[in-house]
C-alpha cells in the first residue's frame, strides 16, 4: 500500500478560509486549529470541568460489549476514569455496510488524531465515534452504490419502515436485509475474500436488533484492535445521562436559536454558504411522539409545538419530559454538538466540510450553555486506486489530481482527437455552414411567396441539418468502435475516481474494497501515520 498526499481545491470558501486564512473566521470558533497552545489550553479546560465519568464508562462498556468490541476498546473506555483523559469525537448516521466511504475515512481521522494528540499532550486521548441513531432520514442510509453496467447504481434495501422514526427505533427485518445483501454480492466478482466476507456479514446480521447494531458490529470488525469506542446517541441509558443537559437547552432555547440564526445570517453576508437555514423560533430539539420524531419550534409564549402542529407542549411539560423520560427527546445538528460537549470531555471534534460549515454558526449556542467550542479539525479524505487502474493512468499519462477533481471526459476526447482520425465534427460544421449559405436564397424566396411556404422551407433546412448531424453521429460512432477498448478504460477510470460527477468517497461503498483486499484493509490504512497538514490522500492498493 502506497499513500501520497494530494492538494485538492476547497469549493466551500469557508472551509478554505478555515484551513488557510483562519484570521478571517476566528471570531466563529474558540480555538485556532493550528495554535501553538491550543491543545494544552483545551486539556486544562477539560481538567477544570466536571463530567460524570463513572456512569459514562459503565454505559460505554455495556454498549460496546453488545457490539462485539475488542479488548483495546475496553482499555480505552476505562481510561476515561482519569480526570485528565479526553476524547476525539466525530460521528455519522448508521448507514448500511457503513454507507459511503467517507464514514470510514472519518473513523480513520478520529483514530489518527487521538493517537497523535495523546503523544502531544502526555495524557490519555481516546477515539469515540458518535452514531447518530436518533436521525430519521432512512432514505439516506438504506442503500449503497455499486458498479453496474459501467455506472454507479443505487441498490436499495426493499423494506417498509416508518421514515419518521429514528433509525435506532426502526424494526430491523433481517430477512429483507439478507435479500439485499445477497443482491449486492451478485454485483461483485468473486475473490478469495468473498466467502469469508459474506459469512461475517451474515453472522453480524443475525445477531443485530437494529440498523445501528449492524453498523456498529461491522465497524468493530473493520477496526478490531484500534481501541475505537462507539456511542449510539439514541440509547435510552445515554439519554438518562443527558437529562440535565436537555433541561439547560430548554431553558436557554431562545438564546441559542437567536444567536445561531444571527451568526448564520452574518456568515451569509460575508459570502459563506448557508448550512443550517435556521429560524428564530427553531427549538433545535425533537420530541418522539407515537413512534415518530417531531421537530419542535417555539411559539410566541415560549412554549413548544411541532413544526406541523403534531404536538403542543408547555415549557414545563417539556422540562418534565426531560427530567422523567429524556429518551423521548433528541438533538438536531445545532444541539448535538452542545450535547457532545456536555456529555464528553472533548479534546477535538473531527468533521467534514458540511459539518464545519454549520459549526461556524454554533458558537452562540455554546456560549448560551456556558461552554467552550472544542477545536474543530477537518477530517482526512482518501481516494482508493487499484493496481490495474494505476497502470492505466500511467500509460495514458493522466494527472491523478485532475482526474479526481474533474474526471476523464475531456481527456477521453483529447485522446481520441490525438489518434489521427479525421476531424469529423469540424468537417460536419463546415458542411452545414456551406449548405446553409446555398439554402438561404431558397428560404428568402419562399418567405416572399407566403408564410406557409416560408415555414416549409425552414422545415426543409432543419431536415437537411439533422441529416448531416445524423451522419456525423454515425461516423463518430464508427471511429469510437475502432477504439472501444481504449475508450472504455477512460470510462472505467471516470467511474472509479470521479463517480457521478463527484469524489469517490461520496459514492463508493467499502464493500468492493473489502471483497478485493480483505476485511483488514482499512485497519492497514490506519496503521500508517497520516499528517493533518494534508487533508486528501491517494491510496494505491
User: Residue 76 contacts by C-beta under 8 Å, 6 or more apart in sequence?
Assistant: 124, 126, 127, 227, 228, 229
Which H or E run includes 147?
Answer: strand 143-148
Burial class of residue 86, CB neighbours in 10 A (0-12, 13-18, 19+): buried
Distance CA 341, CA 345 (A): 7
Sheet hosting strand 229-232, strand order edge to edge: 229-232, 125-131, 86-92, 346-351, 376-378
For residue 39, which of 116, 112, 107 has the smallest C-alpha distance? Answer: 116
Take residue 199 and report the three cell numbers written for it. Answer: 459469512
Q: Any bridge partners for residue 537, and if so which?
A: 5, 382
For residue 74, which phi and psi values (nearest 5 degrees)? Answer: -70, -30
Q: Is the pLDDT of residue 18 over 70?
A: yes
Q: What are 240-280's pLDDT values in tens digits?
A: 999 999 999 999 999 999 999 999 999 999 999 888 889 99
pLDDT of residue 453: 92
User: Residue 70 contacts by C-beta under 8 Å, 6 or more apart in sequence?
Assistant: 220, 224, 225, 227
Band of the pLDDT at 422, cuts 50, 70, 90? Answer: low
Take residue 74 and report the three cell numbers written for it. Answer: 475496553
For residue 84, which phi and psi values (nearest 5 degrees)? Answer: -90, -5
Q: What are 25-58's pLDDT values in tens digits?
A: 999 999 999 988 999 999 999 999 999 999 999 9
Band of the pLDDT at 421, cuts 50, 70, 90? Answer: low
User: Residue 339 contacts by C-beta under 8 Å, 6 or more apart in sequence?
Assistant: 233, 242, 245, 249, 331
For residue 516, which of 196, 148, 109, 103 has the smallest C-alpha distance? Answer: 196
Q: Which of 361-375, 398-412, 435-449 has the highest mean pLDDT?
A: 361-375
Higher-confidence position of 145 and 411: 145
Mean confidence (pLDDT) of the chain: 93
Q: Is the pLDDT of residue 360 over 90?
A: yes
Q: What are 91-110's pLDDT values in tens digits?
A: 999 999 999 999 999 999 99
Q: What are 189-242's pLDDT values in tens digits?
A: 999 999 999 999 999 999 999 999 999 999 999 999 999 999 999 999 999 999
pLDDT of residue 485: 81
Residue 120 to residues 32, 43, 124, 349: CA-CA distances in angstroms?
Answer: 16, 11, 10, 17
Which H or E run includes 20?
Answer: helix 13-20
| Rounded mean pLDDT, 460-488 | 85
Residue 189 to residues 149, 157, 485: CA-CA distances in angstroms?
Answer: 14, 21, 20
Q: Is the pLDDT of residue 420 over 70?
A: no
pLDDT of residue 163: 65
Distance CA 533, CA 378 (A): 10
pTM greater than 0.85 = yes
3-state secondary structure of 298: strand
Amino acid at each position: 500500500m502506497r499513500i501520497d498526499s494530494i492538494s485538492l481545491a476547497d469549493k466551500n470558501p469557508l472551509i478554505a478560509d478555515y484551513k488557510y486564512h483562519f484570521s478571517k473566521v476566528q471570531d466563529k470558533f474558540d480555538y485556532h486549529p493550528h495554535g501553538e497552545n491550543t491543545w494544552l489550553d483545551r486539556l486544562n479546560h477539560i481538567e477544570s470541568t466536571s463530567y460524570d465519568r463513572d456512569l459514562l464508562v459503565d454505559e460505554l462498556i455495556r454498549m460496546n460489549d453488545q457490539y462485539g468490541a475488542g479488548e483495546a476498546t475496553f482499555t480505552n473506555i476505562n481510561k476515561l476514569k482519569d480526570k485528565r483523559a479526553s476524547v476525539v469525537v466525530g460521528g455519522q448516521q448508521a448507514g448500511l455496510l457503513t454507507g459511503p466511504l467517507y464514514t470510514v475515512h472519518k473513523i480513520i481521522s478520529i483514530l489518527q488524531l487521538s493517537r497523535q494528540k495523546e503523544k502531544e499532550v502526555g495524557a490519555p486521548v481516546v477515539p469515540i465515534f458518535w452514531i447518530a441513531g436518533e436521525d430519521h432520514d432512512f432514505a439516506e442510509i438504506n442503500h449503497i452504490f455499486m458498479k453496474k453496467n459501467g455506472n454507479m447504481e443505487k441498490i436499495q434495501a426493499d423494506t417498509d419502515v416508518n421514515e419518521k422514526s429514528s433509525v435506532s427505533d426502526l424494526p430491523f427485518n433481517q430477512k429483507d436485509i439478507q435479500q439485499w445483501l445477497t443482491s449486492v454480492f451478485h454485483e461483485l466478482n468473486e475473490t478469495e475474500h468473498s466467502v469469508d466476507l459474506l459469512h461475517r456479514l451474515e453472522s453480524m446480521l443475525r445477531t443485530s436488533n437494529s440498523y445501528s447494531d449492524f453498523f456498529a458490529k461491522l465497524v468493530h470488525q473493520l477496526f478490531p484492535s484500534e481501541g475505537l469506542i462507539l456511542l449510539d446517541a439514541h440509547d435510552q441509558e445515554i439519554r438518562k445521562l443527558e437529562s440535565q443537559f436537555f433541561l439547560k437547552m430548554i431553558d436557554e432555547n431562545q438564546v441559542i436559536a437567536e444567536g445561531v440564526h444571527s451568526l448564520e445570517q452574518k456568515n451569509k453576508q460575508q459570502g459563506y454558504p448557508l448550512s443550517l437555514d435556521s429560524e428564530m423560533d427553531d427549538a433545535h430539539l425533537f420530541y418522539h411522539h407515537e413512534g415518530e420524531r417531531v421537530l419542535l419550534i417555539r411559539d410566541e409564549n415560549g412554549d413548544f409545538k411541532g413544526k406541523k402542529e403534531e404536538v403542543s407542549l408547555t415549557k414545563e411539560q417539556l422540562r418534565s419530559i426531560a427530567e422523567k423520560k429524556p429518551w423521548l427527546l433528541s438533538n438536531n445538528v445545532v444541539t448535538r454538538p452542545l450535547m457532545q460537549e456536555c456529555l464528553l470531555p472533548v479534546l477535538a471534534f473531527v468533521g467534514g466540510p458540511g459539518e464545519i460549515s454549520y459549526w461556524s454558526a454554533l458558537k452562540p449556542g455554546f456560549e448560551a450553555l456556558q461552554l467552550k467550542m472544542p477545536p474543530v479539525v477537518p477530517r482526512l479524505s482518501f481516494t482508493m486506486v487499484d493496481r490495474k487502474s494505476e497502470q492505466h493512468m500511467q500509460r495514458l499519462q493522466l494527472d491523478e489530481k485532475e482526474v479526481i477533481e474533474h474526471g476523464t471526459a475531456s481527456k477521453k476526447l483529447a485522446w481520441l482527437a490525438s489518434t489521427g482520425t479525421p476531424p469529423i465534427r469540424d468537417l460536419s460544421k463546415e458542411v452545414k455552414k456551406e449548405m446553409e449559405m446555398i439554402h438561404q436564397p431558397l428560404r428568402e424566396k419562399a418567405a416572399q411567396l407566403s408564410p406557409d411556404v416560408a415555414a416549409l422551407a425552414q422545415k426543409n433546412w432543419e431536415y437537411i441539418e439533422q441529416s448531416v448531424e445524423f451522419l456525423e453521429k454515425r461516423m463518430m460512432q464508427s471511429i469510437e468502435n475502432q477504439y472501444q477498448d481504449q475508450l472504455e478504460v477512460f470510462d472505467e477510470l471516470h467511474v472509479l475516481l470521479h463517480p457521478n460527477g463527484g469524489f469517490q468517497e461520496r459514492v463508493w461503498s467499502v464493500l468492493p474494497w473489502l471483497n478485493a483486499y480483505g476485511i483488514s484493509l482499512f485497519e492497514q490504512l490506519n496503521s500508517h501515520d497520516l499528517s493533518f497538514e494534508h487533508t486528501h490522500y491517494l491510496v494505491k492498493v
